[in-house]
Structure 1
Amino acid sequence: MHIDNPVSSHTASNTNLLTQALWIGLILSIAIGVGSYALLTWGEAAAQLLTTTDKHFWYLSRASDVIAYTLFWLAVVFGLLLSTRLGKHFNAARVFALHQYLSLIAVGFAAFHADILLADNLLNLNLWQILLPFGFQTERGGVALGQLGFWLLFICAFSFYIKKYIGQSAWRWLHFLTFMAYTFISIHVFIVGSDSQALPLLVFYAGSQTLVFLLMTYRLVALKQAK
């Protein structure tokens, strides 16, 4: 009969906790370092911009747009990792948790991205223009795709909470809307807003979308081979 050594288990547990603490410390250090560098480099220019422009809400909307897209992209990547053979190299429970909560946080930032424009006196928008597709007077097609993508993302993100009521099969079919949402939002970020023409963002959008579509292709090929 094999009996686990409690001392060894306790030591292993302490080692795992220490490793996690070191990783958290490293990530926080990098984040603080990057944030400090950005603040020292662009802090004064950003402060001058905010005090000399009347487009504060527009800039907040653009910034939250990039954050929402990034979070959604990560959620899609983690979801695709779970649904392919690549997922066996990761802790499935943790990847699923990241996939779920990143989707929810992305919804929050996307909602902020749209709702903050209600405070912009230059655009003079109302709530229905924000909520309903084709409500904008300019760039209606691109904005409408973003709005449709948001509602599809909203449905997919909150489908986690109705999964037990609709069943695994129905939930999986509903979850396929994620790909449509990502496609709509990907087109939206490319064609709406002047910041999408900035080279760093252009490279990020192109690179992130290429990765997603490669993973999607890999998944489809794997499904075909499994049949």
Structure 2
Amino acid sequence: MNTTALWDFGRGSGVVALVLLTVSTVLGIATRSGRPAPWLPRFAVTELHRNVSLLAAVFLALHVGLLLFDPYAMLRLFDLVVPFAGRYRPFWQGLGTVALDLLLAIVVTSLLRHRIGRRTWRAIHWAAYALWPVALFHALGTGTDSFTPWFLTIAVLCAACVVGAVCWGVSTRTPLEVSR
């Protein structure tokens, strides 16, 4: 595979991962709201959230794996674990490392949910609310397509979906639910 293809597939898988993380975040908010979403029953939203989240993890793994072999990105294994140590746009790449580390923690604890207990899982799962904006800022800061009209449209739509879901989720809570 030539380096242009690696770069293109690496970028493309990153964009798909961002869109899937957005869908996962929206579905997670819908699940957490405590009532069924207008389009699906609650159990279906939960299952869809789980499956979309795993698919997002697969595309993130593709994104990172492809860019690891791309000479332009200059990623090292070290950069996948330690944030802000990369050679290419270190701050923005570091945000990607933070997002990867958060996603790994969420996926691993979700797979071990029955062994670690619901309380521990839930505490770690709250990191998902940090994961999405960190991933969005990573994409905006490090992506070579960051300020193209098509990518800005995707980024704005992703942000609008998450903000809309947060507003919907907050509006559905009663004072008793908020205090739980």
User: TM-score scaled to structure 1, two decimals?
Assistant: 0.69
Shift of 1:198: 1.5
State the distance in 1 between where 2:3 and 2:20 align: 28
Distance change in 2, residues 1:123/1:216 (3 Å): closer
Match of 2:19 in 1: 70
Shift of 1:188: 0.9
State the distance in 1 between where 2:7 and 2:175 align: 48
- Contact 2:74–2:87 (CA under 8 A) maintained in structure 1: no
- Contact 1:100–1:160 (CA under 8 A) maintained in structure 2: no
Match of 1:164 in 2: 114
The code of the aligned residue for 2:90 comes to R
Gaps of 5+ in 2: none
Greater helix content: 1
Shift of 1:80: 0.9
1:105 is paired with a residue whose SS is: helix
1:171 is paired with a residue whose SS is: helix
- Contact 1:61–1:113 (CA under 8 A) maintained in structure 2: yes
Gaps of 5+ in 1: 1-49
Distance change in 2, residues 1:188/1:224 (3 Å): farther
The code of the aligned residue for 1:201 comes to F
State the distance in 1 between where 2:138 and 2:173 align: 29
Shift of 1:187: 0.8
**Which structure is higher in RCO with an 8 Å CA cutoff and minimum separation 6?**
2
Match of 2:169 in 1: 219
The code of the aligned residue for 1:65 comes to G
- Contact 2:83–2:95 (CA under 8 A) maintained in structure 1: yes
Match of 1:110 in 2: 60
Distance change in 2, residues 1:106/1:120 (3 Å): same
What is the number of equivalent residue pairs in this alignment? 176
Shift of 1:197: 1.2
- Contact 2:73–2:88 (CA under 8 A) maintained in structure 1: no
TM-align CA RMSD: 2.2
User: TM-score scaled to structure 2, two decimals?
Assistant: 0.85
State the distance in 1 between where 2:171 and 2:42 align: 21
The code of the aligned residue for 2:10 comes to S
1:61 equivalent to 2:10? Answer: yes
1:121 is paired with a residue whose SS is: coil
The code of the aligned residue for 1:156 comes to I
- Contact 2:33–2:170 (CA under 8 A) maintained in structure 1: no
State the distance in 1 between where 2:15 and 2:72 align: 22
Q: Between 60-69 and 121-130, report the one with greater CA deviation.
A: 121-130
State the distance in 2 between where 1:189 and 1:153 align: 15
Of 132, 146, 149, the residue aligned with 2:82 is 132
1:206 equivalent to 2:152? Answer: no
Deviations 1:52-108 (A, max 9, x none): x84221111101001111111111111111112552532222211111121112112
Q: Which has the larger radius of gyration?
A: 1
